[in-house]
Structure 1
Amino acid sequence: MARPNLQTVEVSECWQSLCARQDLVPNSGVVAWMEGAQVALFYLPGEQEGRQLFAVDNHDPLADANVIGRGIVGHLGGSLVIASPLYKQHYRLEDGTCLEYPEQRLRVWPVRLAGDVVEIGLG
């Protein structure tokens, strides 16, 4: 059975291995270390349209804590979001924008599955 292509729409010239597919937890977040940054990975295999794999900064700028990977995934205002576990503000997984505080945002990275390897875009 063929696996769906989970590559993001974003283009990156340089891809780096980050973890294995088996490290991902469906419909939840896991955190990986990449070049001094904590990256929260969200694997959403149940999403029928669009991307199923997202990489955002694990650092919540409002709470000043590394907790985003423990947030709750959901839909709000037509967007796929992650709710911060501390103050419950919502960040769009697509672009990192905070819905309640637009001046706050999470860094996002292009991410894809290359076989059984999760790769993150560096450039």
Structure 2
Amino acid sequence: MSYNWDLIQRLLHEVQTSANDSFKPRRYAEEHAAQMESEGQPMPNLDSLRAEAADYESLLFEGGFIVTRPEEQGGNGENFVLTERGTRLLALLDNPQDVGQRQRLIDKGEAALVPEVFDEMAAGRS
């Protein structure tokens, strides 16, 4: 399995901006698909993309990339904040000058989002 890193990047950006709003991964997947289509890319299967986004939400939460937003920061039990690990992942995905970092994520396959593997890779040890 390989991850849809562009979709993960989109979800992480939405976490950053979801202060007082519930996190809606399925809606973000639809918006992502529409953006892809507007850029001339083929429209992905929306049902699959929505399910993938929901799976990524769980994976990012369980892996410690995102945590529930504290109430004092506008948390409502249905929105998140990036952890330090999530911030590092987003920085890797956002850096267009360093395609090597994204390739390293791709090369790791499913292990890329295993917390210990990601932490080693982000620290440059793997």
Which structure: greater helix fraction? 2
Q: TM-score, normalised by structure 2?
A: 0.24
Q: Please give the TM-score of this superposition, normalised by the length of structure 1.
A: 0.25
Q: Which has the higher strand share?
A: 1
